[in-house]
Amino acid sequence: MPDHEEPSHDRLKQHFAQRVIHQARQVLETWQRMQRSEWSDNGMQELADATLLLHRYAERFEQAEHSQLAASIVRCLDAVASNRGRLNSGMISELNQLMQRLSRTGLRRGDHFEQTILPPLRKPVYLALQHVERAERLAHQLDYFGMSAQPLETANAFRAAMLERHPAAILMDVNFSGTGMGLALAEAVQQGLEDKIPLLFYSHDDTDTPTRLAAVRAGGQEFFTGTLDASSLLERIEVLTHVAQYDPYRVLIVDDSRAQATHTERVLNSAGIVTRTLTEPIEAMAELAEFQPDLIILDMYMPACSGTELAKVIRHNDRYVSVPIIYLSAEDDLDKQLDAMSEGGDDFLTKPIKPRHLIATVRNRAARARSLKARMVRDSLTGLYNHTHTLQLLEDARYRAQRDEQPLSFAMIDIDFFKKVNDNYGHPMGDRVIKSLALFLKQRLRKSDHIGRYGGEEFAVVMPNTDARTAAHVLDEIRRRFAEIHYPAQPQDLCCTFSCGIAELAGEMDGKTLSQQADQALYVAKNGGRNRVAVFA
C-alpha cells in the first residue's frame, strides 16, 4: 500500500505546485500589460490582487521562494500606496528586479518530480524550419542572447505548441512540412487572433515575388533568405515585439506652491510617471543634473524667480536645450502665454486643467523628446550611446559616486583582430559582429549600466555601484559567452572574441583619468594575448 501512496502524494504535490506556477504567471502577465500600456490605478490594484493570491497559494503549498518574492512585491506596492501613489525610479527598479527573479523561479530543488520553470518575462520564439538541425543550432545561438527559442519538427507539433501557449514571435520556413505549406500554416494559426503574433518567414533559397507577396498576405512582417544569423534575427524580433523594460517618464515639477505641486504629482503618478518636486527654483540646475528629467513643468509666477527666467537659465546649458518645458499657470492672457513660450517654453497649460489633458500632454511631449534625444546621443549602427554622450554619462556617474561614496568602474572593450574580419569577410560581416556585441552587452548588463560605442570596434561601459573585481567577473563571463557565438560564413563559420580593460574610481580622480586607466588596462589585455579581461593596477 505505501508503494501506491507515494506516487499519489507526489502527483498531489505537483498539482498544488502548478497552482503556484499558474498564479505566478498571472502576476507576470499583469506586470507585462502594465509595461505596455503605462500604469493606472486599476492596473496597480490588479497587480496587488494577483500578488496577494500568489502569496496565499505559496504559503499554503509550502513554496518558500515564491512566498518570499510575493511578499517583497506586496511590500513594494504598499510603499507606492503609502507614498500616496507617488512613484520613484527606485521603486520601478526594485519591481523590475523582483519580477525578473519571479520569472526565473521554479519548484524547490529537493522535489522528486520534474523541475517546473516559470516562463520568462519574454515568451519563447517558435522556430518552424524545414531542417530541424538548423532550428536547433539557431535556438542554441539565441540562448546566448538570453532569448528562449523552441524548435518544432512537424506541423502537428507547431499547432499543439500554439494551443498550449502563444509565442513572442514565429519564424516560419515557407516550405515547412511541404512546399509552400508554411505560408498556409502560419496564416491559419493567426486567424481569429485579436492580437496578431509577429511573423517572420524564411527561405533557404531566394524566392520570387509571388512567394513574397503570399508571405505578406499571410501576415509576414519580415522575410529572411540564405543563412540565418541569430543576432540579426533577434534584432528584428526586438523591434517587432517592442521588448523593453518599463522605463517611466521622469518629470521635474518646479512650483512654489506645495499644494499645487502635490496635486500635479498625484495626477502624473497615477499614470505611472515618476516625478520630483522643487519649491525653490534656485535649486533647479542641480536637480536637473541629478534627476535627468524627460520634461519640466514650471509655474509662471514664483516670488524668487519667475518661470520664464528659470527657462532661460535652463536653456543656457547645452545639455537641456531639447528638454521640453511646459508652463502650468492660472494665467489666461493669451499674449502673456505666447510671450512666455517665446522664452524657452514648449507648451502652456492653464489651471485648472483636467487630469487626462495634463497626462496626455506630458506623455506626448516626453515621448517626442525621448525620440529626438535618442537620435542625438545614440550611435546609428548599434543604438548604443555615442562617444560624446558616453563621456558625459561617465562624468555624471563619477560625480554621484564621489558624492555618495559608492564604487564606480569604467570598462573599455575592443573586438580582437577586427580588421581581419573586414578584410576576409567584408564590411557587412564586420557590422554584423559589432551589432551582435552591442546586443549581447545590452542583454547581459544591468539597466543601470551605460553602454556606449566608443568608436569603430571599441565599446565603453559605465558601471555604477560596482567595484573593479565585480566588473571583471561580470565582463569576463560576457567575454566567454560571446566567444561561443557563430556567424554563418564560408568556408567556415566565424567566431570573434574581445579584450577588455577595467579601471575603478579612486578618491578625487576625474573622469579623464579614469578613462585613461581603463585604456591602459585594455592595452595590457591586448598585449597579454587578447581574449581576456585586465584590471588597471
- pLDDT > 70? residue 119: no
| pTM, entire model | 0.60
Total tally of structural domains belonging to the chain: 4
Burial code (b: 16+ CB inside 10 Å, e: under 16) for 15-46 equals eebebbbebbbbbbebbeebbeeebeeebbeb
- pLDDT > 90? residue 315: no
Give the C-alpha separation, 534 to 501, whole Å: 5
| Lowest mean pLDDT, pick from 25-34, 293-302, 354-363 | 25-34
Q: What angle do CA 230, 139, 202 make, to 5 degrees?
A: 60
- pLDDT > 50? residue 534: yes
Q: What is the pLDDT of residue 41?
A: 66
| Lowest mean pLDDT, pick from 203-207, 230-234, 372-376 | 230-234
Q: Are 452 and 395 in contact (CB under 8 A)?
A: no
Q: What is the CATH number of the domain that holds 18?
A: 1.20.120
Q: What is the pLDDT of residue 10?
A: 56
Range 78-83 average pLDDT: 80
Q: Which helix (H) or strand (E) holds 424?
A: helix 418-425
Which residue reads 532550428 in cell numbers?
Answer: 135
| Average pLDDT of the chain to the nearest whole number | 83
Beta bridge partners of 534: 501
Number of Cβ within a 10 Å radius of residue 396:
18
Q: What is the pLDDT of residue 151?
A: 94
Residue 227 shares a structural domain with residue 255:
no
Q: Is residue 443 part of a domain?
A: yes
Label residue 320 exposed, middle or buried (CB < 10 Å: 0-12, 13-18, 19+). buried
Q: What is the span of the domain harbouring residue 30?
A: 2-103
Helix, strand, coil shares of the chain, percent, nearest 5, are 55, 15, 30
Q: What is the CATH number of the domain that holds 500?
A: 3.30.70.270
Residue 359 shares a structural domain with residue 315:
yes
Q: How confident is the model at residue 437 (pLDDT cuts 50, 70, 90)?
A: very high
Give the C-alpha separation, 188 to 63, whole Å: 40
Q: Is residue 201 part of a domain?
A: yes
Residue 424 shares a structural domain with residue 367:
no
Specify whether the backbone of 107 is left (phi greater than 0), alpha (psi in -120 to 50) or beta: beta
| Lowest mean pLDDT, pick from 67-81, 217-231, 447-461 | 217-231
Q: How confident is the model at residue 462 (pLDDT cuts 50, 70, 90)?
A: very high
- pLDDT > 80? residue 341: no
Residue 364 shares a structural domain with residue 254:
yes
